[in-house]
A = this chain, B = another copy of it.
Amino acid sequence: MTATVAQASELTMAGALNRALADELAGNDRVVVYGEDVGPLGGVFRVTDGLASRFGDGRVFDSPLAEAGIVGTAIGMAMHGMRPVVEMQFDAFSYPAFEQITSHLAKLHNRTRGRITLPVVIRIPFGGGIGGVEHHCDSSEAYWVHTPGLKVVAPGTASDAYWLLRQAIASDDPVIFLEPKRRYWAKEELSDAPVAEFGQAFVRRTGTDVTLIGYGSMVTTLLETAEAAAQEGISAEVIDLRSLSPFDDLTTVASVRKTGRAVVVHEASGFAGFGAEIAARLTERCFHQLHAPIGRVTGFDIPYPPPMLEEHHLPSVDRILDAIDRLQFDDEPVMPRG
């Protein structure tokens, strides 16, 4: 797992994903890439740009317009030893495949006592912030993480996107790969090795007063928040989960036991969102170190808003700073906010 990464360089997340697919296609002839418009068009976000012409339409091809069909056939292909990487064009368009994903993709390995392995990767551009119309900005992670048998990952940076996607394709388990579409064009130097193992979280900034936990598009937002908090004399540690399921208890628990405070952030609606699990399990493990209940900053419990109103829905630096302020620092010396 190094290959063409030698000549590393600044890449957008979309470009990094494209290179990861190219490197896997080049390195393993059992890898196939298909879905809607991933062929000649290169995908609506150009993540598969140039792959069909480079690897041929036996390796990278457009499928008929049918998501259950895409996932269902990927299961059959994987049963035959292939490693399909399929794309759902937007979050909400993975829902027609819900039965194939939950009743088969997640369960066939268990059903057959491990005889069938399904190394299928389902790529889903997820979340909002791009002014997309309804159905194009959902955050569906809560559905997937609650489904045993699925691994769920979400990169927050371009370099991590490259390595996580390669790790996902290399994994023998089915992986839901959530791509934060609003960060597709954010650039980063490609590191020459993954920052962490598949399944592990990564501390993107160390701090002592509060732990900020997020994934996907929120990683950037949390780093901005930590910067702003520093101005106010609050030292925030930022954890990029990377892997939502399995969940990295070691990294997160260690941090929260150290800081005694935490805020969990995601775009998805808060009610029964993934943040609830993070808050609940960290509270179970860090109860006596906590100075305040773990805060949650999430989207409201509403359908994703129309483009002109989405700014109100998405977690912002200000909202996260307010959540930090609510963590009962009063008993400790903290600079008052500007």
Contact = CB atoms under 8 A, between A and B. Distances in A.
Interface stretch (A75-83, A100-108, A124-132): A100-108
Given A92-B102, A92-B103, A284-B296, 12 more contacts: A106-B303, A110-B302, A148-B269, A245-B271, A276-B277, A276-B280, A280-B280, A283-B283, A284-B293, A284-B294, A284-B295, A287-B293
Interface stretch (A8-16, A25-33, A138-146, A230-238): A138-146
Contact of A142 (B99, B107, B272, B279): B272
A95 B106 contact: no
Contact of A271 (B146, B271, B292, B293): B146
Nearest to A109: B303
22 contacts: A68-B96, A92-B102, A98-B99, A103-B135, A107-B303, A110-B303, A142-B146, A143-B146, A146-B273, A148-B269, A148-B303, A271-B277, A272-B276, A275-B280, A276-B280, A276-B281, A279-B284, A280-B280, A284-B294, A284-B296, A287-B292, A287-B293
Interface in A116-163: 134-135, 142-143, 145-146, 148-149
Interface residues of A, number: 46
Contacts of A143: 143, 146
Oligomer copy total: 2
A247 interface: yes
A95 B98 contact: yes
A115 interface: no
Contacts of A272: 142, 145-146, 245, 274, 276-277
A262 B219 CA distance: 33
B283 A148 contact: no
